[in-house]
Amino acid sequence: GGGYICDTPGFSKVDFEFHDATMIKNYFLDFKKYSDDCKFGYSCQHISEPDCMVKSKVASGDILKSRYESYLNFVDILKTRKEKF
C-alpha cells in the first residue's frame, strides 16, 4: 500500500491508516534516499541512533529541518495513540 502525507493549511487533525510509529519513516520520501547510508540501515528510525545519515542531512541542510520536525511530531502522535489502545 502506498500513500502520501500532506501538510495543508486549514487542516487541524492528522489521521493515519496504521498505528505503528516505525512505519511513518516510509512516507517521508526525502528521507528514503539517505536511509540506506544509516549505520542501522532500514531499521534506523532517524531519532536517536548514532551515525544516522538522515539526521546528518538535516544538520547539513540537505533535508529541511521543518520536514524532520514534522516527522518527529508524527512519530510522537502515533506513539501517543498506541499507548491509548
Model-level pTM? 0.75
d(CA 75, CA 25): 9
How many helices (H) does the chain have, and how many strands (E)? 3, 0
| Cα R_g (the chain), whole angstroms | 13
Residue-wise pLDDT for 51-80, tens only, equals: 999 999 999 999 999 999 999 998 988 888
Residue-wise pLDDT for 8-53, tens only, equals: 666 556 666 666 778 888 889 999 889 889 999 889 999 999 999 9
Domains delineated in the chain: 21-84 (1.10.40.50)
Report whether 27 contacts 5 (CB < 8 A). yes
Could you tell me where the beta strands, DSSP code E, fall in 19-58? none
d(CA 3, CA 84): 24
